[in-house]
Structures are given as structure tokens and as C-alpha cells.
């Protein structure tokens, strides 16, 4: 394969992926998969112990990694420069805003040079600060380490904490005695990592994963218990995942069971060490709800009664069933209620209208409401639940695409907002040097797709600028128009950085999500292509100068759009890309497949859903045509998008494409879905992606 001069260099030795044809038939289609062998028969063992990977597959993945380094060898200096730049924007010695919890406040602190944070608390009676857990020390001599939950017991004598040390998302829970700083001998393995304490501090609830990596059992651990922990609830439907959380009031532990369309909640009395779960409302197809406790009532965020964009209802804890639900915040079409936070005297909700978020505060006694106002056209907004219920203060986090994030404490009674922290950029950042814009691209069916973008004021908008266009568009996940430091390395080199708010997300409400799933999934792809064409038409860039970027389900987007419109793109960055959609959705043994059927369809049970997925599945639709340069990134222990998906995709692309490329694959042999875990190690992967973008599109930007 040949590339244009001065662009990504190609090594002489492209890995030769062996062909071992695997054939199967379904609904009248005969399908040949030449690279199915890259899926290890013992993949479940590999998740827990990567050394179990068969030698031939390991050899192939390492050859791919070696080829990538050869192909990008000319960008080695650039990658180092980018990594240094991005690290220079991180305040290495940094501390989070403390969260008050009675006598104590808890916070995270980073020290210079540390990859991971430290968990601290302050005793307000003495003013003493105490280090409770040093994650950097716990990660020592580990190739991967992710700190999960850190939950102090209600009496503040113990700390339950969880960690994953190979990227497979199997978390081990430990309990630390804060008087001795020693961990108890008993550990709880193969958990989701989530922890919810009993109010008496004598035990906590957690979720155990089964052999297929699915969260299926809620267990109660009693401190000091050396035998098996009691199973409190077990989910029998493989299509439903479990979650646990403590209500903000501290009265209930909430067990959630859900897929992507349906949910149900069970209540556990947090004061009762032998509590039995009580069902709020049984699952009904298509009905979703979340529960919180607010003074004398349950508050329920739900789409019941046709409330497509959700509303808030209430019921008594004694009679929680749907027959007793009454409206508290009525449904308003086009205004999507995203989440709610009860404080004793106020109920706060975060909602979004016309792709803009806002916070609404409701008084408990009068029902009067007011909004917290923001001036920018495009911004990101989040609320922090904190650790206290009897409190009139709300913490929220605000940023825009050019303004670093700010943490505020807002007094819901006086309406005063206090800036607690502004993100510092040690290497310097002037928001006035940048322009932010919101565009609307017309999709083929007439819908208007929002685009958020940022560029330097000095960047010419005459079609000559390169562009990085990011997209996701699945699971109802909305991409916020917030501040990110890493893309500045592209923006400051003349790139336009744009986010396509395509269907499959909820930027324009729940309908926006519904119009980008199952049989309507192709709208996600045509929306993204429409955004690319609109950026070209408006003079922001030109064909062949766009690098498309997406990860996970966004990586599936990358595979689809490059099959459909390769001429628009100069490069594709696909991180942990979900590209083998048909084969994955046919394999019910994979961790996420049954819960994903409501999102994508079940091609094993429905001929129509088989046909739909087959029509767009990136791996199955690779064509004999030119393709741009492609970078695929995978993780060996990824339980969400398994390593073989990008490996198979890359092999088939090379074997089918007529020209273009190169097509590159890097598998992180020490990590899973999120890539490298350390805050600085992760920058190496980002630098690789951005160096790839620069060398593919704008080689003159560096020497």
C-alpha cells in the first residue's frame, strides 16, 4: 500500500494475518469469517490472567504493535513533544474540593510525578489531615491499576475500597481499619467495585460478577465474617445488569436492575442489618425509572405514561408501586430531565433543552422553583451529590469548550454562588484566543444535527484548516461541550476541533436517542457524514482534511462512516472500536451481548434485526475501495469491546481495500477498555492518536 509523500510512513513488513475460514449460515445468508481465529477460545481466562492468551494470537498482536511503531517512526519526536505539552497542562500537585461528611471532610490529592491520587480526610475537630489511601503506592509494580470506590463507613472507622489491577474490570474490595491503616485479611474478588454501607457500619453491600463477567448477585458482607457472604438478591435474566447505591438521605440502599429500555428498583432499609429487598415497581417493557428518597417520600425519575423526555413523580416508601405514583415535576416535551438530587430542603434537577443543560432548584415546602443561569451558548454542566443530605449547598461544575472547568458551591436559599476551584493550566491558557461556535447540519431526512466546535481566532476559515471531528451517538449518551486540555495540541496547530451531536445520543431529547438505535441506527452514520459535509460547506475544512475520531460504540461509528464515505476523511482514529457488531450480537456468552440486544437488536432471534445489523456492521461491510489512514486501538483485557474486534477489522481492511491506508493497530497488552490507567501513561496513547492525525493531515506542522 502506498501513501502520499511526507505522510504516514509505511514499514516494508506488514503483518501477514493468517486466513482460517469460519463459515456459518443464518436467515439465508452464508457468511465467511476469515479471522475468527483471533478470538481466543479461552477468552474468559484471558480477562482474568492475560498470560493465558494463546501463543499464536499473542505473536500476531505483538507483530501489529511492532508494525505500528515502524509506520509511525518518523513521528516519534512529535509524540514526545505532544506528550510533554499535554502533561504541561496538568497541575501535577493538585487537590479536589473537599466533601463535608459530619466531623470530617474527604478529598483527593495528587503529588508531583504521581500517576494516581491519594485519598485524604480532614478532622474538623482537630484540623488534622490524614492520608487514608495512597493509590500510587497500591499501584506500585503493577502495569495497570484503577481505583474504584472509596467508601468510609458511616462511623468513619473503616474504609472499604476497590481496585482493578489488570483492566478487566474485575474489582477486588478490601476493608481498611483507619485506626491502624491496615487492611483486613479477607478480600472480596470478582466484584463490580461498588460499595454501599449499612448505617451501623457493621457491613456493606456489593455486587458479585458471574463467570461471564455480568453483575448478577447483590451480597451483604458482615465485617469480620470469615465464611461466604449472604446473597441478598440474584438477577436471573442475563439481559439485565445490577447496580447498588445509597440514597442521598442515607435511609435506603437502592438495588437497580436494568437493560437499555427497562428498569426496576428494590429498596433495602439501610438501618436493618438483615434487610430483605422490597420491590418498588416490577419491570414493564420500555418503562424506565430511578428512585431517590426525599424526606417523607420517594421521588421517581421516569418515562412512565409516555413521558418520553422523563418527568419526576413521587410515592410513599410504604406504598411505592406505580399505582401510587403522582406527578411532582410534570412532563414537558423537549425538556429532558437528566438527573435529580434531593437535599432536605430542596430538590435539584439537571435538565437539557435544545442541547443546553440547566439546573433547576425546587423548594421542599412551597414547590417554588428557580434556575441557575449561565451566559455561554455552548457549555457543559454537572452536579455533585456530595456526602450530606441535611445541607442547603449544591456543588456544580461548569466549563465551556474554551473556558477551563470551575467548581462552585451554590446556596439554594440565598442563591449565592461561591467559586471553590478553577482548573489551572500551568503552561498557560487564554480563553480569548479561541472561538466557540454552534452549527446545525442538515441530515438527509431533514433533521438538523448540532455541531459544537472550537478553534483559534487566528485559524483561517477558508477551507484550508484541518479538522478533528469527534462522535459517539449510542446508548443515549450526550457529548458535552466542555473544556478539554488535550485537544489544544491540535487546535494550537491550526485544527478545528468539532463534536457532532448525532442521533443515538440525547442532546435533543429522548427521541434523538430513539432515532439512532436498532432499525434506525443508520441515522447515526448519515448524521455524522452530514456534519462533515456541513463543516466543508461552511469553509471550516475541506474533503480529505478531516480526521474522524470515536471510541467504543463511537469506534463502530468510525467503521461505518469510513465504509460509506471514505473520500471525506484523511484519517480515522478508532479507539476500542465496536466493529464486529454482527458476530458479537450473535454470541450470547459475551459479557454485554444480552443486555445490548435492546440497543442493537437480537440477530439470533429476528431475521429483520439480523438484516439491519448486517447492513451496517463495519467488519461485514468493508469494500474493495480506497480507504484513508486508519489507527485502531484495543485493550487485551477489555470486557466491553474485546481485543479481537479491532484485530479482525484491521486484517480484513488490509485484505480488501484497493489503495490508501496505512491501517494500523495497537493493542495495549496491559489494559482494558479505558486504556492506560495512570494520568501520565494515558497521555502517551493520546499523543499517539494526535501524532497520527497530524502526520496524516498536516505534516508541515512539525519537523
Please list, in sequence order, all residues whose beta carbon lies within 8 angstroms of the beta carbon of residue 300, skipping any fewer than 6 positions away.
280, 289, 290, 291, 312, 313, 314, 315, 325
Closest by Cα among 298, 292, 334, 291 to 315: 298
DSSP 3-state of 60: helix
Helix (H, G, I), strand (E, B) or coil at 511: helix
From the candidates 429, 455, 549, 673, which is the catalytic residue? Answer: 673
Confirm whether 22 is a catalytic residue. Answer: no
Nearest partner of 558 among 455, 481, 627, judged by Cα:
627
Q: d(Cα 203, Cα 180) in Å, to the nearest integer?
A: 19
Spot the catalytic one: 452, 552, 617, 677.
Answer: 552
Query: How confident is the model at residue 556, as a pLDDT?
Result: 98
Strands (E), 390-487: 393-400, 406-411, 417-422, 434-442, 448-456, 467-471
Q: What is the pTM of this model?
A: 0.95
| pLDDT per position as a tens digit, 58-95 | 999 999 999 999 999 999 999 999 999 999 999 999 99
How far apart are the C-alpha atoms of 485 and 686, rounded to whole Å?
A: 11
Residue 314 in contact with residue 515, Cβ under 8 Å?
no
Residue 675 is placed in which grid cell? Answer: 486504556
Count the alpha carbons within 13 Å of 694 in the hemisphere toward its beta carbon: 28
The pLDDT tens digits of the residues spanning 145-193 come to 999 999 999 999 999 999 999 999 999 999 999 999 999 999 999 999 9
Q: Find cell 447515526 and name the residue.
A: 524
Return the exposure string of 594-617: e unless at least 16 CB atoms fall within 10 Å of the residue's CB, then b. Answer: bbbbbbbbbbeeeeebbebbbebb
pLDDT of res. 9: 47
Q: Alpha-carbon distance 407 to 414, whole Å?
A: 18
Query: Cell 519526536, residue?
Result: 77
Q: What does the pLDDT read at residue 7?
A: 43
**pLDDT at 702 (0 to 100):** 35
Q: How far apart are CA 542 and CA 463, in angstroms?
A: 5
> For cell 486484517, what's the residue?
651
pLDDT value at residue 438: 93
Using alpha carbons only, what angle is made at residue 554 by residues 551 and 557, rounded to the nearest 5 degrees? 130
Give the residue ranges of the chain where pLDDT is below 50.
Answer: 1-12, 701-703
Paired with 162 in beta bridges are 173
Best CA proximity match to 517, nearest among 589, 469, 581: 581
105 is an active site residue: no
Radius of gyration of the chain from its Cα atoms, rounded to whole angstroms: 25
Provide DSSP, 345-371.
TEEEEEEEETTEEEEEEEETTT--EEE
What's the first-to-final CA gap in the chain, in angstroms?
Answer: 24
Closest alpha carbon to 557 in 583, 524, 581: 524
Q: Is 673 a catalytic residue?
A: yes
For residue 518, what is its C-alpha cell? 436498532
Which of the following is catalytic: 153, 638, 670, 677? Answer: 638
Amino acid at each position: 500500500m502506498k501513501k502520499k509523500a511526507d505522510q504516514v510512513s509505511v514499514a516494508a513488513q506488514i503483518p501477514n494475518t493468517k486466513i482460517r475460514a469460519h463459515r456459518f449460515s443464518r436467515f439465508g445468508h452464508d457468511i465467511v469469517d476469515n479471522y475468527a481465529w483471533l478470538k481466543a477460545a479461552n477468552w474468559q481466562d484471558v480477562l482474568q490472567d492475560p498470560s493465558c492468551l494463546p501463543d499464536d494470537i499473542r505473536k500476531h498482536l505483538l507483530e501489529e504493535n511492532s508494525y505500528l511503531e515502524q509506520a509511525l517512526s518518523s513521528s516519534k519526536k512529535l509524540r514526545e513533544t505532544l506528550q510533554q505539552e499535554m502533561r504541561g497542562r496538568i497541575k501535577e500537585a493538585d487537590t479536589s474540593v473537599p466533601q463535608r461528611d459530619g466531623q470530617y471532610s474527604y478529598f483527593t490529592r495528587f503529588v508531583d510525578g504521581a500517576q494516581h491520587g491519594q485519598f485524604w480526610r480532614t478532622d474538623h475537630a482537630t484540623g488534622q489531615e490524614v492520608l487514608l489511601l495512597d493509590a500510587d503506592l497500591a499501584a506500585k509494580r503493577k502495569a495497570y491499576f484503577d481505583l474504584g470506590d472509596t467508601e468510609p463507613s458511616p462511623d468513619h472507622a473503616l474504609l472499604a475500597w476497590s481496585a482493578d489491577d489488570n483492566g478487566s474490570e474485575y474489582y477486588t474490595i478490601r476493608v481498611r481499619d483507619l485506626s491502624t491503616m491496615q487492611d483486613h485479611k479477607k478480600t472480596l474478588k470478582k466484584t463490580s467495585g461498588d460499595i454501599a454501607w449499612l448505617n451501623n457500619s457493621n457491613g456493606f453491600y456489593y455486587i458479585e460478577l458471574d463467570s461471564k463477567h455480568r453483575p448478577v448477585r447483590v451480597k451483604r458482607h458482615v465485617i469480620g465474617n470469615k465464611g461466604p457472604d449472604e446473597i441478598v438478591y440474584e438477577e436471573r435474566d442475563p439481559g439485565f445488569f445490577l447496580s447498588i447505591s445509597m440514597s442521598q438521605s442515607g435511609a435506603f440502599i437502592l438495588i437497580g436492575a436494568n437493560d437499555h429500555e427497562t428498569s426496576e428498583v428494590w429498596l433495602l432499609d439501610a438501618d436493618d442489618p438483615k434487610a430483605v429487598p422490597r420491590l418498588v415497581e416490577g419491570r414493564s417493557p420500555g418503562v424506565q425509572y430511578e428512585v431517590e428518597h426525599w424526606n417523607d417520600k420517594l421521588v421517581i425519575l421516569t418515562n412512565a405514561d409516555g413521558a418520553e423526555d422523563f418527568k419526576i413523580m413521587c410515592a410513599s416508601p410504604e406504598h411505592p408501586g406505580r399505582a401510587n405514583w403522582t406527578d411532582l415535576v410534570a412532563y414537558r416535551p423537549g425538556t429532558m430531565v437528566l438527573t435529580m438530587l434531593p437535599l432536605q430542603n430542596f430538590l435539584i434537577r439537571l435538565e437539557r433543552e435544545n442541547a443546553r443543560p440547566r439546573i433547576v432548584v425546587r423548594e421542599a415546602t412551597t414547590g417554588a422553583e428557580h434556575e441557575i443561569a449561565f451566559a455561554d451558548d455552548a457549555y457543559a454542566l454537572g452536579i455533585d451529590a456530595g456526602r450530606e443530605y441535611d445541607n442547603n449547598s449544591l456543588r456544580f461544575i461548569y466549563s465551556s469548550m474554551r473556558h477551563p472547568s470551575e467548581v462552585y458551591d451554590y446556596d439554594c436559599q440565598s442563591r449565592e454562588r461561591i467559586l471553590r476551584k478553577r482548573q489551572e493550566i500551568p503552561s498557560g491558557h487564554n480563553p480569548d484566543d479561541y472561538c466557540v461556535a454552534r452549527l446545525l447540519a442538515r441530515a438527509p431526512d431533514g433533521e438538523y444535527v448540532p455541531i459544537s466546535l472550537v478553534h483559534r481566532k487566528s485559524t483561517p476559515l477558508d477551507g484550508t484548516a484541518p479538522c478533528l471531528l469527534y462522535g459517539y451517538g449510542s446508548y443515549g449518551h450526550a457529548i458535552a461541550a466542555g473544556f478539554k486540555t488535550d485537544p489544544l495540541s491540535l487546535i494550537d496547530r491550526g485544527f478545528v476541533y468539532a463534536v457532532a451531536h448525532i442521533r443515538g445520543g440525547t442532546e435533543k431529547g429522548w427521541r434523538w436517542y430513539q432515532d439512532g438505535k436498532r432499525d434506525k441506527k443508520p441515522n447515526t452514520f448519515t448524521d455524522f457524514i452530514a456534519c462533515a459535509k456541513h463543516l466543508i460547506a461552511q469553509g471550516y475544512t475541506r474533503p480529505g482534511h478531516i480526521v474522524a475520531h470515536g471510541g467504543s460504540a463511537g469506534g463502530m461509528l468510525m467503521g461505518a462512516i469510513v465504509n460509506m464515505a471514505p473520500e471525506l476523511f484523511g484519517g480515522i482514529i478508532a479507539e476500542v472500536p465496536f466493529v464486529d457488531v454482527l458476530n458479537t450480537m450473535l454470541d450470547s456468552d459475551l459479557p454485554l451481548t444480552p443486555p445490548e440486544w435492546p440497543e442493537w437488536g437480537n440477530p439470533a432471534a429476528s431475521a429483520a434485526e439480523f438484516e439491519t445489523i448486517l447492513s451496517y456492521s463495519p467488519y461485514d461491510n468493508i469494500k474493495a475501495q480506497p480507504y484513508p489512514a486508519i489507527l485502531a486501538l484495543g485493550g487485551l483485557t477489555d470486557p466491553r469491546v474485546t481485543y479481537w474486534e479491532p484485530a479482525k477489522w484491521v486484517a480484513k481492511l488490509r485484505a480488501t481495500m484497493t489503495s490508501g491506508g496505512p491501517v494500523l493497530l495497537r493493542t495495549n497488552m496491559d489494559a482494558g477498555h479505558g486504556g492506560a490507567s495512570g494520568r501520565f501513561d494515558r497521555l502517551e496513547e493520546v499523543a499517539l492518536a494526535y501524532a497520527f492525525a497530524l502526520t496524516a493531515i498536516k505534516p508541515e506542522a512539525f519537523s
